[in-house]
Amino acid sequence: MYRTTSGEEIFIIDGHVHFWDASPANQRNIHGKQFIDCFFAYHNALSPKEQHWPKAKFEKYDAATMVRDLFIDGPVDVAIIQPTYLKDFYTNGFNTTGQNAVIAKQHPERFILNGAFDPRDGELALDYIHYLKETFNIQGVKLYTAEWKGASKGWKLNDADAYRCFELCDKLGIRNIHIHKGPTITPLNKDAFDVSDVDYAATDFQNLNFIVEHVGLPRLDDFCWIAVQESNVYGGLAVAMPFIHARPRYFAEVLGELLFWLGPDKLLFASDYAIWTPRWLVEKFLAFELPDDIKKERGVELTLETKKKILGLNAAKLYGLNIEAKKKALAKAPLKAAAD
């Protein structure tokens, strides 16, 4: 549990972390190098200098490093580990459910494991969803609509094959649909991350929760207009969060808009590890105050209660996590330092 200087306890759920392998040995082609180079550029541009990693470590880090950064040196209580397959770019995949399951199994009290599917696989996508549910009992999936697959440069949430997958998710109780709808990563196409298809899927699948990762940036206005009318659309703050350091005024504008349109109950903290580590993000967020002009114009406040919701309480509701029970479970199974 993270404690503020005043002794306030904050339960933190990091809603968007990865355990990837983008090492040169796993890069299938030039696109694998382009992709991780773009991630690394975001890392360097938006992180404090003392948080910069060497390139080799950024390309491939080990499980002990991740556990230490999230739960030992970091303030996270529970992390939702999300896959991004990218098998057209990486021989063994960039970050698959199977790879993530290894570290999640080592620390089941700390990780919530999500799956993924690609509707372009047709019947095989449905079979794979069944496999994920039966094998890992997943509660959510992470979708990457701009992922390349052969000649295809992306897909939409309202494609007929995607709807078949959502119907199956609904039937199996896979309620949380995380979707990358954020900045373009080289060499993927910007238009394939457009948020307009969220409107269709959210309307047609009321039992599912659509967590739009990166809150649609740089399409914030479009996202807000959709999310305000769709009660089952949420905003994941990965990518938005590090602007708290690099461009705090811009971060205040983004957060002010989100609080005005969505309110405090539909926003989820995420570090996007390992692009960024969570400790400095959490510390800066807890210390952050909205400028007076933004508060006045939008009629919003960033109170401690709002920060608690964003940092963990909202994600806990989506995943049915009993925080008091989880606190007791974590107290019985404390993590040891990696060196031990």
For the chain, which domains are there? 2-332 (3.20.20.140)
Sign, Cα dihedral of 147, 84, 73, 33:
negative
For the residues 163-178, what does the mean pLDDT come to?
Answer: 98
- pLDDT value for 336: 60
How high does pLDDT run on average in the chain?
96
The torsion angles phi and psi of 81, rounded to 5 degrees, stand at -95, 120
- pLDDT value for 163: 98
Q: Which residues pair with 179 in a beta bridge?
A: 143, 212
Check pLDDT > 80 for residue 52: yes
Check pLDDT > 50 for residue 340: no
Check pLDDT > 90 for residue 113: yes
Q: What is the CA radius of gyration of the chain?
A: 19
Residue type for position 167 = E
Question: Is residue 334 very low, low, confident or very high in pLDDT (cuts 50, 70, 90)?
Answer: confident
The per-residue pLDDT for range 197-255, each reduced to its tens digit, is 999 999 999 999 999 999 999 999 999 999 999 999 999 999 999 999 999 999 999 99
Check pLDDT > 80 for residue 338: no
Contacts of 156 (CB under 8 A, 6+ apart): 145, 162, 197
Cβ(213)–Cβ(179) under 8 Å? yes
- pLDDT value for 196: 97
Task: Determine the 3-state secondary structure of 100 from DSSP.
Answer: helix
Check pLDDT > 90 for residue 7: no
Cβ(292)–Cβ(250) under 8 Å? no
Distance, C-alpha 185 to centroid of its chain: 15
The per-residue pLDDT for range 292-326, each reduced to its tens digit, is 999 999 999 999 999 999 999 999 999 999 999 99
- pLDDT value for 332: 85
Question: Is residue 333 very low, low, confident or very high in pLDDT (cuts 50, 70, 90)?
Answer: confident
The per-residue pLDDT for range 118-149, each reduced to its tens digit, is 999 999 999 999 999 999 999 999 999 999 99
For the residues 73-94, what does the mean pLDDT come to?
Answer: 98
Tokens encoding 293? 């002009």
For the residues 242-270, what does the mean pLDDT come to?
Answer: 98
